Amino acid sequence: MDGKKSRIPKIPFWLMKHISSCDNPDAYSGDIEEEYSEIQKCRGRTRARLWIWRHVILAIPRWATNIFLWRIAMFKNYVKTAIRIFFRHKGYTFINIAGLAIGMACCILIFLWVQDELSYDRFHENAEDLYVATFSNGSIVTPTALSDYLKEEYPEIIRASRYLGQGRNLLKYRDKQIYEEGGIMVDPDFLKMITVKILKGDPATALDDPSSILLSEQVASKLFGTTDPLGQTLTYNTNLDMKVSAVFEDYPRNSYLRFQYIIPAALALKYDKNFVTWDRNFILTFVQLNPETPVKGVDAKISDAVEKHRPQDKRELSLQPITRLYLNPFNHTNVRLTYVYLFSALAFFILLIAGINFINLTTARSSNRAKEVGVRKTVGAYRSHLVRQFFSESLILTVISSGFTLAIVYLSLPMFNELTGKLFTWEFMIQDTVVFGILGIIFLTVIISGSYPAFILSRFSLTKVLRGKLMTGMKGCLFRKILVVLQFSLSILLIIGTIMIFRQIHFLQESDVGYDKENIVYFGIGTRFRQNIDTIKTELLSNGNVMDVTLTNVAPYRWNTNAGYGDVHWEGKTHQQVKMVMTSVDYDFLDTFKLKMAQGRFFSKEYSTDASDAYVVNQAAVKAMEMDDPVGKELKVWELAKRIIGVVEDYHFESLHSEIIPMAMRIEPDSYSQACIRISPYRIPDTIAFIEKKWKEIYPEYPFEYMFLDDAIQNQYRSEQATGKIVTVFTILALFISCLGIFGLSSYTAEQRTKEIGIRKVLGASVWSLFKYISREFVVLVIFANVIIWPLAYFIMSRWLQTFAFRIDIGWWMFVLTGISVLTVSLLTVSWQIIRVATTDPVDSLRYE
């Protein structure tokens, strides 16, 4: 036998002791030990063990019922007490519920948004195995030959597909014709890789025929109405006949990929023998890995896949998960991910602010509850019971608030959708993750708001409470003050953030882009237009309101995204890589956009060589190539060697997120695809009608669709604008909740000090001096909050601004302005209560004794 201590197995014995709920636990366990050793002596150890385990198991049902019944009984009492208290202090209850409800509503809305942002491309059945080939500089635009090569050379890659967006194209069926933006050109593997639901037709063969087309439900119904689209032939871009081989369910919105119809890449091969090439980058390459393969190993293997075929391209190739594509797109660095973090933080702050309200109001009024705590303790409540009680109270309040929360969310969903450009519906909220998220938010609220009061209130020492010595010492007050400072710091941070975001957006929209973007109309054109350009130009210019007409190869505000990067050589080249964008323009480009020349001259028809042997570069290019005297030097881009005839002053040809990059312009009539027309600001509708008439003469079969350049540029900053609006709304709400909190606190203070104020008044204090006296406390807190948050705000905002290549300076006035406005708002909030008390007749406040 072992030593005395190990005679009894610990676990069952411990269990035994803890699940029994009798009045004499010691005697009880003593008895068990006694009998256990008796049994062990007579019938052996195993028997004894069996005996004790049987005891344990048989004791469980009674124990469970006991716990349950007593908890329920007590909970009923807690609910009753809580509801009585809520009704007795309607004002505070209202403040608590309003704060919590608004806070949680904000939190839930933001949670919906974040959840949606993170859900992009996760719905694919193979989402974990899908990747997009990415260069080490973040570009996902790859050569057309890559996908076939990857699939053949690397057994780990089981599927691969090219992916090429089609721009705007005309689909025509009998007399119905529509423009569709969302066409893509892919390989047959694509349908097996991503998850797209085919409603009609066979997905396995749908892309086999080069002239087949797959339509989305939406496009099919637009084009065919009630006719069965399957097997019908439609006209693609007026010259190709395509057979509808399948109809797919409208592709989910939460994907980086967007498409309305699919055509096979084989079609491009049929018409362009040089389609598959290593020389140019213009498509995306999607691959699917074998699920058992770790992506790291594949990354290492394929890193030189492009370099092998195109030695001058030193960029390494790697695979980026498809699920990251939306949050981390190639041309912006992590902007969306930043917003996800930003908004999550915002949600948490708002919840925290609302929770602090609850904490402050509860602890501030703790003296009112102290007697209750004392009595409860006297009749035998343990501290744990009191903790449980106060948690129950915050739970009850949170549950009540969450009812209002759901109502607020429901009512504000349409508004929120408009703000964010998402499509949340009420049904969306019944998803598992969302329900768990919401429950999580409620739970978090209970924890935040319930914890501190529960531990503070349950700590009251019995004797002190009942003798009337309450905890009004510095400690409780200090903690409350810290919380108020925290609340206001967060609000101030949010306000400063909002101001910065708006200033920055304003800056982006109003800052000089280097060209005149007002009153420019642009639209896409085709062969017929560009071949007769001279006649058309003359005809258009015959109208007095048409100022200039020019042609170019890409939409004016996004030259960079569509133009490829070329290999660059120049006279006196001393260093290696220069990234250069090549664009095609025509002779009127300079005048139409009102650009300025820095050196040399622009293209002119007077020089016959300009059409074939001339580049105009921008200042950024000159700087990148480190040329002293660029005019007349030879420059070779994409193996095209021409002379530089002039340098144009830098202008922002893409979003102000990015720096101006080197660019070379040339005359290349075959690649013109956009017409840009400067019109006079007068009688714009007439001018547009005139242009449309001309269009109809050239393209009777195509409808005329145009954009204003400044609108298009505005759209570029839509994501910032939306963010700005969302942040503003939530900031205002956060400040509102904070103010609710100090409103509650100040009214409580005023109430507590009614007598003091009465005495002061009797002794001759004026309303104004009383006001100063009481509001000082809050003013100090708000000022303190300002001072401690400013450095942090400065740090965070300067980090955010670094995502912009062109940005505002952070001015000290923003901080001061925020400080003063917050101070004013909070002073106004507290003054209402203070003045109410300060103007009361002292007779009333002192009389009742």
Partner 1 sequence: MRKFSMKELTKLEELVMIAIWRLEEDAYGVKIKNKVKEIGGREYFYNTLYTTFDQLTRKGCITKHFGEPSAVRGGKRKVYFHITKKGRSELEKAFERHNRIWAGIDEKSFQKESP
**For residues 55 and 309, which CB has a smaller minimum distance to partner 1 in the complex?**
55
HEC profile of 543-567 = CCCEEEEEEECCCHHHHHHHCCEEC
Residue 195 CA to residue 323 CA, distance in Å, equals 13
**For residues 23 and 534, which CB has a smaller minimum distance to partner 1 in the complex?**
23
Q: From the CB of 105, what's the least distance to partner 1, in Å?
A: 45
* Residues of the chain by 3-state class (helix, strand, coil), percent to 5: 55, 15, 30
Q: From the CB of 31, what's the least distance to partner 1, in Å?
A: 3
Binding span for partner 1 by CB under 8 A among 16-24, 475-483, 512-520, 671-679: 16-24
**For residues 60 and 780, which CB has a smaller minimum distance to partner 1 in the complex?**
60
Query: What residues contact residue 701 under an 8 Å CB cut-off, 6+ apart?
Result: 170, 172, 177, 238
HEC profile of 808-844 = CCCCHHHHHHHHHHHHHHHHHHHHHHHHHHHCCCHHH
User: Are 714 and 491 contacting, i.e. CB atoms less than 8 angstroms apart?
Assistant: no
By residue count, the chain amounts to 849
Q: From the CB of 38, what's the least distance to partner 1, in Å?
A: 8
Q: From the CB of 79, what's the least distance to partner 1, in Å?
A: 22
**For residues 58 and 430, which CB has a smaller minimum distance to partner 1 in the complex?**
58
Binding span for partner 1 by CB under 8 A among 17-25, 130-138, 272-280, 618-626: 17-25
Interface with partner 1 (CB under 8 A), residue from 4, 10, 90, 273: 4
Q: From the CB of 443, what's the least distance to partner 1, in Å?
A: 35
Residue 317 CA to residue 319 CA, distance in Å, equals 7
Show the site string, 354-383: x = touches partner 1 by CB under 8 A, - = not.
------------------------------
Q: From the CB of 26, what's the least distance to partner 1, in Å?
A: 5
Binding span for partner 1 by CB under 8 A among 18-26, 193-201, 497-505, 547-555: 18-26
**For residues 29 and 344, which CB has a smaller minimum distance to partner 1 in the complex?**
29
**For residues 52 and 160, which CB has a smaller minimum distance to partner 1 in the complex?**
52
Helix boundaries (H) for 310-365: 322-325, 335-364
Residues 48-77 that bind partner 1 (CB under 8 A): 55, 58-59, 62
**For residues 53 and 502, which CB has a smaller minimum distance to partner 1 in the complex?**
53
Q: From the CB of 24, what's the least distance to partner 1, in Å?
A: 5
Q: From the CB of 7, what's the least distance to partner 1, in Å?
A: 8
Q: From the CB of 11, what's the least distance to partner 1, in Å?
A: 15
**For residues 24 and 472, which CB has a smaller minimum distance to partner 1 in the complex?**
24
Radius of gyration of the chain (CA): 37
What are the distances in angstroms from CA 789 to CA 242, 354, 640, 741?
63, 19, 57, 19
**For residues 381 and 641, which CB has a smaller minimum distance to partner 1 in the complex?**
381
Q: From the CB of 371, what's the least distance to partner 1, in Å?
A: 23
Residue 227 CA to residue 208 CA, distance in Å, equals 24
Q: From the CB of 376, what's the least distance to partner 1, in Å?
A: 17
**For residues 44 and 225, which CB has a smaller minimum distance to partner 1 in the complex?**
44
Neighbours of 248 (CB within 10 A): 24
Bridge partner list, 550:
676
Neighbours of 231 (CB within 10 A): 10
Residues 19-48 that bind partner 1 (CB under 8 A): 20, 22-24, 26-35, 37-38
Distance of CA 734 to the CA centre of its chain: 19
**For residues 378 and 609, which CB has a smaller minimum distance to partner 1 in the complex?**
378
Bridge partner list, 676:
522, 550
**For residues 1 and 474, which CB has a smaller minimum distance to partner 1 in the complex?**
1
What are the distances in angstroms from CA 713 to CA 111, 422, 592, 814?
30, 21, 17, 27
Closest CA to 448 of 362, 571, 512: 362
Q: From the CB of 16, what's the least distance to partner 1, in Å?
A: 8
Please provide residue 673's backbone torsions phi and psi, each rounded to the nearest 5 degrees: -135, -5
284 binds partner 1 per the rule CB under 8 A: no
Q: From the CB of 30, what's the least distance to partner 1, in Å?
A: 3
Q: Is the dihedral of CA 811, 813, 814, 816 positive or negative?
A: positive
**For residues 30 and 403, which CB has a smaller minimum distance to partner 1 in the complex?**
30
Residues 530-559 that bind partner 1 (CB under 8 A): none
Neighbours of 473 (CB within 10 A): 8
Specify the amino acid at residue 184: I
**For residues 28 and 75, which CB has a smaller minimum distance to partner 1 in the complex?**
28
Please provide residue 68's backbone torsions phi and psi, each rounded to the nearest 5 degrees: -60, -50
Q: From the CB of 388, what's the least distance to partner 1, in Å?
A: 21
Please provide residue 319's backbone torsions phi and psi, each rounded to the nearest 5 degrees: -110, 130
**For residues 20 and 749, which CB has a smaller minimum distance to partner 1 in the complex?**
20
Residue 844 CA to residue 846 CA, distance in Å, equals 6
What are the DSSP calls for 145-194, one per residue?
THHHHHHHH-TTEEEEEEEEE--SEEEEETTEEEEES-EEEE-THHHHHS
User: Whose structure tokens read 């990354």?
Assistant: 299
Total residues contacting partner 1 (rule CB under 8 A)? 22
What are the distances in angstroms from CA 775 to CA 255, 292, 747, 825?
53, 67, 11, 13
SS3 at position 339:
helix
Bridge partner list, 597:
648
User: Are 236 and 213 contacting, i.e. CB atoms less than 8 angstroms apart?
Assistant: yes
Interface with partner 1 (CB under 8 A), residue from 8, 490, 494, 733: 8
Burial class (CB within 10 angstroms; exposed 0-12, middle 13-18, buried 19+) of 1:
exposed
Q: From the CB of 80, what's the least distance to partner 1, in Å?
A: 19
Binding span for partner 1 by CB under 8 A among 15-23, 84-92, 173-181, 366-374: 15-23
**For residues 27 and 67, which CB has a smaller minimum distance to partner 1 in the complex?**
27
Residue 355 CA to residue 559 CA, distance in Å, equals 50
**For residues 55 and 383, which CB has a smaller minimum distance to partner 1 in the complex?**
55
Q: From the CB of 32, what's the least distance to partner 1, in Å?
A: 6
Neighbours of 643 (CB within 10 A): 16
Q: From the CB of 13, what's the least distance to partner 1, in Å?
A: 9
User: Whose structure tokens read 């009539």?
Assistant: 669
- Site residues (vs partner 1, CB under 8 A): 4, 8, 20, 22-24, 26-35, 37-38, 55, 58-59, 62
